[in-house]
Amino acid sequence: MSVRQWSRDLGMGARFALAGGREGWTRALLTAVGVGLGVALLLLTTAIPGALAERDRREEARSDHTFGQQEIPKADDTLIVVDSDTIFRDRDVRGRMLEPEGPKAPLPPGVSAFPADGEMVVSPALKELLASRDGRLLRERLDYRITGAIGEQGLVGSQELAYYAGGKGLAERLEGPASGARIDSFGNPDLGSPDPWDPVLLLLVLVVFVVLLMPVAVFIAAAVRFGGERRDRRLAALRLVGSDSRMTRRIAAGEALAGSVLGLVLGTGFFLLGRQLAASVEVFRVSVFPSYLNPSPLLAVLVALAVPAAAVLVTILALRGVVIEPLGVVRTARPARRRLWWRLLLPLGGLALLYPMMGQGDDGGNFNQYLVVGGVMLLLIGVTALLPWVVETVVARLGSGGVAWQLAVRRLQLSSGVAARMVNGIAVAVAGAIALQMLFAGVEGNYTRASQYDVSRAQMSADVPEGSDAAPVAAQYRDTEGVRKVTTLSDFHLGDRREADALIQITVADCASLREVAKLPDCRDGDLFAAKGSEYDGDSERLAVPGTRLWAESEESGRAGDRTVTWTVPRGIRQAESREDPTGYERGGLLITPGALPGKLKALMSTRLFLSVDPSVPDAYDHVRNTAARLDPTSQPMTWHSIESNDRYAAIRTGLSVGAACVLALIGASLLVSQLEQLRERRKLLSSLVAFGTRRRTLGLSVLWQTAIPIGLGLLLAAAVGMALGAVLLRMTNTSVRVDWPSVLSVTGIGAGVVLVVTLLSLPPLLKLMRPDGLRTE
């Protein structure tokens, strides 16, 4: 077979794909858009690792200080950095106060000049936020003059909120509780490589990728078959004028190739467009700059080659089942029944690949990445292989019903393959999502834990600045909008002698606040109590005896400590039963009301406020944060959550949700396209059915059944395979297998919702097609 012949046939096919009048164009465009969306998603996926690496790199480049880093002396190339991070609503704001100590002080990345005292440079997103009505509260908090912007190199995302403020006398703050350091350069090369990924997390990531990409592949396969029936008819016409069956196959391949290449072009376009759009969106608090999203060249080339190849392959495979004769596609009474055995081999093979890794999740056991990916892929492909068989088998047994039902069932019986193909993508996506949800729910316990905080008693805590009197600070918080109650607890420790062996915790608070830490019989200012019942009060009982002399422990209580301060435990101590404070801590030692505390001990106290916030007051948390910032710009009041989760785990779950949403939207779009195509092909029939009086409702219902039956079967199969895969994955991570029914139902529900939306969207065109105009001969 000569190369010229080949290229001629392929070229002919390409021309058919592009030059078929309006009809041809529409079909080519549909295919191209379908393939393009898939390609864009693939490119995006290949770009994500790079984007995350780039974020990491920039994060590292601007890192300033770490715990336990070497202290360096003041010099003309040093800079004082103090953290002043804050939270606005639910968004993190990265804040740093800077004070250069000499002309050669290092500038942070993206900043061209140090802001002076009372000034700041901000990220574009923060600038926008501050200028908006919404940012009013934050503007009060960041009460600096904006003198510049932080450049892209200094930010990890386009939507990141960050600022650098100038400060004075920051060196003093380094002595206090504020987090900061004196540095001579940004970007800490000694940070070391990040922790290696936990194998279970790695497993999750791998599975997420496979689960998201498989439906895209299925989708692309479906997209290149848009307009298949019409194409078959055209090929038959070609056979009539003398092309042989090999030539028609090559021409069909040429068509598919043209469509997919057009799709690649569109896909690149979509990707570039999406890349620009990416700058303006923030997905689950992660935003990126367009420049981050560069697909790795190797993967991009792979996509560029694999997509057309797959398109041609799918076309050739699809043509295998049809005999194209000169007088039309052969009127086969009924295609051969689908066989079950090889379809079962795929998921079984997948299970076989995964089986050897059962129970390796614990103790840093490693999973073979290839086996994981291969096994999961085979299982999911198994869904697409089994579904046509399931649909055919079930539909063949469906019995009688109303007219709408009969129309739908008969159509499905005649073309169950088309129906199955339409829902394959959804089934795969749902199966994957169910498996993942199960895996997540199963391992959730390992990566999130309920925090000790009792959020019903207090929702925030704030430290009183070192050396300040607690009472006025507490008063300021109490006057803050949205604060219901302030519990003030001051602590320090006293030892049994100078070089203390045993320590006793002293808690100073007024009666109301003390009731938060112990059950008091009655209480007046001047009372003393010994807390009982705590598991941490090993030495307390011995030391909390009247007459015992106690020494202030300077190492413990910081610079305010004075070794010479001593205190003798007075008489009149009453017993009180300890209870958990709002942080979940049950304390022992002595509980003292301020009236019983000698003045000389006051300097030892470090004070923490627990704030109970009225959730019905809008922005109550931010009012508190504003108060805190007013008192000390570097203070960071804590907001309590009942659950803490591992950040990386949360990121994966986030990625899954976003990806699944995109994939389902994509599949919904393809479903709609093929639905509309089918309707268009039946335009004449629909019109004549309406002519002899068929109710529109009947036809609409039949369209719904026609989609709902295969979708129902697809979702059932998907749920079964998904749960099997989920169970296997859980076994692999050594987690007990438990079906997470709510998530199974919600995922299948979302799948069903997509179908419903598609049906609803296809109703207006259906109604339009049912207009009698369709009867007019063209």
Partner 1 sequence: MTIPAGSLLTAQDLRKVYGPTTALDGACFSIHPGEVVAVMGPSGSGKSTLLHCLAGIVMPDSGSITYNGREVTAMSDAERSALRRSEFGFVFQFGQLVPELTCVENVALPLRLNGSSRKEAERTALAWMERLEVDDLRKKRPGEVSGGQGQRVAVARSLVTNPRVVFADEPTGALDSFNGERVMELLTDAARSANTAVVLVTHEARVAAYSDREIVVRDGKSRDMERVV
Question: Rounded CA gap, 554 and 564, in Å?
Answer: 9
Site string for partner 1, 507-546 (x = CB under 8 A): ----------------------------------------
Question: Rounded CA gap, 692 and 688, in Å?
Answer: 6
Amino acid residing at 518: A
Q: Of the two residues 320 and 776, which places its CB atom closer to partner 1 in the complex? A: 776
Q: Of the two residues 298 and 333, which places its CB atom closer to partner 1 in the complex? A: 333
CB of 763 to partner 1, least distance (A): 16
Question: Which residues, including other chains, have CB under 8 Å from residue 72's CB and lie 6 or more apart?
Answer: 78, 182, 183, 184
Q: Of the two residues 22 and 334, which places its CB atom closer to partner 1 in the complex? A: 334
Within 503-629, strands assigned E span: 503-508, 518-519, 528-532, 549-552, 566-568, 573-578, 590-592, 606-613
Is 552:604 a contact under the CB 8 Å cutoff?
yes
Q: Does 407 bind partner 1 (CB under 8 A)?
A: yes
First to last CA, the chain: 42
Q: Which residues in 478-507 contact partner 1 (CB under 8 A)?
A: none
Q: How many residues of this chain interact with partner 1, rule: CB under 8 A?
A: 28
Select the residue interacting with partner 1 from 331, 339, 397, 524 (CB under 8 A). 331
Site string for partner 1, 249-278 (x = CB under 8 A): ------------------------------
Q: Among the candidate windows 6-14, 294-302, 409-417, 613-621, which touches partner 1 by CB under 8 A?
A: 409-417
Instruction: List the one residue out of 631, 625, 620, 629 whose CA is nearest residue 165.
Output: 629
Question: Rounded CA gap, 558 and 551, in Å?
Answer: 14
Q: Which residues in 670-729 contact partner 1 (CB under 8 A)?
A: 684-685, 688-696, 698
Select the residue interacting with partner 1 from 94, 225, 411, 421 (CB under 8 A). 411
Helix (H, G, I), strand (E, B) or coil at 300: helix
Q: Of the two residues 542 and 695, which places its CB atom closer to partner 1 in the complex? A: 695
Which contacts of 47-54 are long-range, i.e. CB under 8 A and separated by 24 or more positions?
47/275, 47/292, 47/293, 47/294, 47/295, 47/296, 48/293, 49/296, 50/292, 50/293, 50/294, 50/295, 50/296, 51/288, 51/292, 51/293, 51/294, 54/288, 54/291, 54/292
Q: Which residues in 87-126 contact partner 1 (CB under 8 A)?
A: none
Q: Does 743 bind partner 1 (CB under 8 A)?
A: no
Q: Of the two residues 124 and 328, which places its CB atom closer to partner 1 in the complex? A: 328
Is 503:556 a contact under the CB 8 Å cutoff?
yes
CB of 712 to partner 1, least distance (A): 19
CB of 391 to partner 1, least distance (A): 15
Select the residue interacting with partner 1 from 2, 70, 193, 400 (CB under 8 A). 400
CB of 708 to partner 1, least distance (A): 17
Within 520-664, strands assigned E span: 528-532, 549-552, 566-568, 573-578, 590-592, 606-613, 638-639, 643-645
Select the residue interacting with partner 1 from 333, 467, 501, 535 (CB under 8 A). 333
Helix axes 696-732, 199-223, angle to 10 degrees: 150
CB of 713 to partner 1, least distance (A): 18
Within 289-417, strands assigned E span: 324-325, 328-329
CB of 332 to partner 1, least distance (A): 10
Question: Rounded CA gap, 318 and 637, in Å?
Answer: 63
Q: Does 764 bind partner 1 (CB under 8 A)?
A: no
Q: Which residues in 642-671 contact partner 1 (CB under 8 A)?
A: none
CB of 417 to partner 1, least distance (A): 14
Distance of CA 525 to CAs 463, 580, 596, Å? Answer: 23, 22, 7
Q: Of the two residues 114 and 405, which places its CB atom closer to partner 1 in the complex? A: 405
CB of 698 to partner 1, least distance (A): 7
CB of 700 to partner 1, least distance (A): 13
Q: Of the two residues 639 and 698, which places its CB atom closer to partner 1 in the complex? A: 698
Distance of alpha carbon 413 from the chain centroid: 41
Question: Rounded CA gap, 759 and 749, in Å?
Answer: 15
Q: Of the two residues 305 and 775, which places its CB atom closer to partner 1 in the complex? A: 775
CB of 235 to partner 1, least distance (A): 18
Q: Of the two residues 506 and 689, which places its CB atom closer to partner 1 in the complex? A: 689
CB of 334 to partner 1, least distance (A): 10
Q: Of the two residues 452 and 687, which places its CB atom closer to partner 1 in the complex? A: 687
Classify residue 478 by burial, with Cβ atoms within 10 Å: 0-12, 13-18, 19+.
middle
Q: Of the two residues 175 and 773, which places its CB atom closer to partner 1 in the complex? A: 773
Question: Rounded CA gap, 623 and 86, in Å?
Answer: 12
Q: Does 776 bind partner 1 (CB under 8 A)?
A: yes
Select the residue interacting with partner 1 from 321, 546, 749, 772 (CB under 8 A). 772
Site string for partner 1, 187-226 (x = CB under 8 A): ----------------------------------------
DSSP for 38-88 reads HHHHHHHHHHHHHHHHHHHHHHHHT----TTPPP----TT-EEEEE--EEE
Q: Among the candidate windows 234-242, 286-294, 307-315, 398-406, which touches partner 1 by CB under 8 A?
A: 398-406
Question: Rounded CA gap, 110 and 112, in Å?
Answer: 7
CB of 408 to partner 1, least distance (A): 9
Question: Rounded CA gap, 494 and 488, in Å?
Answer: 20
The owner of tokens 């109590």 is 529
Determine how many CB atoms are found less than 10 A away from the CB of residue 76.
Answer: 11
Q: Does 410 bind partner 1 (CB under 8 A)?
A: yes
CB of 694 to partner 1, least distance (A): 6
Ramachandran assignment for 328, one of left (phi > 0), alpha (psi -120 to 50 degrees), beta (any other): left
Q: Of the two residues 479 and 681, which places its CB atom closer to partner 1 in the complex? A: 681
CB of 396 to partner 1, least distance (A): 13
Q: Of the two residues 302 and 398, which places its CB atom closer to partner 1 in the complex? A: 398
Question: Which residues, including other chains, have CB under 8 Å from residue 210's CB and lie 6 or more apart?
Answer: 373, 376, 377, 380, 432
Q: Of the two residues 392 and 581, which places its CB atom closer to partner 1 in the complex? A: 392
Q: Of the two residues 451 and 698, which places its CB atom closer to partner 1 in the complex? A: 698
CB of 233 to partner 1, least distance (A): 14
Q: Of the two residues 185 and 688, which places its CB atom closer to partner 1 in the complex? A: 688
Question: Rounded CA gap, 735 and 110, in Å?
Answer: 46
Q: Among the candidate windows 28-36, 397-405, 455-463, 585-593, which touches partner 1 by CB under 8 A?
A: 397-405
Site string for partner 1, 744-763 (x = CB under 8 A): --------------------
Instruction: List the one residue out of 145, 88, 150 whose CA is nearest residue 124.
Output: 150
Q: Of the two residues 391 and 592, which places its CB atom closer to partner 1 in the complex? A: 391
β-bridge partners, 88 = 91
Pair type for strands 145-149 and 119-122:
parallel
Q: Which residues in 412-441 contact partner 1 (CB under 8 A)?
A: 413-415
Q: Of the two residues 290 and 328, which places its CB atom closer to partner 1 in the complex? A: 328
At 176, phi and psi to the nearest 5? -85, -165
Interface residues toward partner 1, by CB under 8 A: 331, 333, 400, 402-403, 406-407, 410-411, 413-415, 684-685, 688-696, 698, 772, 775-777
